[in-house]
Amino acid sequence: MGAKNFLGKYIVTAEIEVKTGLHIGTSKEDLEIGGLDNPVIKDPKGRPYIPGSSLKGKMRVLSEFYHGKVSGDGSVHKCSDPNCPVCGLFGTSVDNNSNNTFARTRLIVRDAYLDEKSLEPLSDFLETKWTELKHENTINRVTSKANPRQQERVPAGAIFNAEFVVDIYEGDEDKFLKYLLQAMKLLEDDYLGGSGSRGYGKIEFKNIRVVKREKDYYLGNGKEEEVGKYSTLNEALKNK
């Protein structure tokens, strides 16, 4: 990224609506007798949430495929091109085995926390306060014996509040904001979490708001500017 001047930040907020049951798993080290086989990750108050690492990691992978940046060995794409739509947005780490330069990520992805009110209409149908249990079987191909298991899932209809921050440097204009919105759209048409090929993890971004905070804002001399408010990602992309 060199010595480009910092100009400000875009703050993007959005609701993530779960369209099909979502399972982002966690360690079972603390599993008690009678506990769940495959629990979802939860905050200290026991509420499911979506880790920023899960969102950012999946969006990066999808962006690498979209922009033709996937290497033959499947390793994470790294390059020194300051305009790379992947490295420029998501950043790269130091690689001592190559001449690639370090690129600081422009993108911060916050953990997305549950809107508790979104699950109130479902309270009579959930097996736990915040989640559902989906019972599944694996079948032995020779004996046809079923091996039952249960998956904890965040139910369809749950809403999480997400926030993304994109740094703006000299010469960027709004191209990396566009790359973020594009990555979010790719994720909508893919899946988040586990078991996506079996129907889990379809999400939709809704009620997207983009504000711009220029450099003076962080000196207490400026105000944030709302640069867009959109019901859907399609609407946001058409206006960028």
Indicate whether 188 pLDDT > 90: yes
Cβ(137)–Cβ(149) under 8 Å? yes
User: How sure is the predictor about 31, in pLDDT bands with cuts at 50, 70 and 90?
Assistant: very low
At 229 the pLDDT is: 97
Using one digit for the tens of pLDDT, what is the confidence trace for 56-99? 999 999 999 999 999 888 888 888 787 899 999 998 866 555 55
Looking at the chain, the whole-number percentage of residues with pLDDT higher than 90 is 68
Q: Map out the domains of the chain as residue ranges.
A: 6-238
Long-range Cβ pairs for the range 201-204 (8 Å, 24+): 201/20, 201/21, 201/22, 201/23, 202/18, 202/19, 202/20, 203/16, 203/17, 203/18, 203/19, 203/22, 204/16, 204/17, 204/19, 204/232
CA separation for the pair 22, 117 (Å, rounded): 18
Using one digit for the tens of pLDDT, what is the confidence trace for 113-152? 999 999 999 999 998 999 999 887 778 788 878 877 788 9
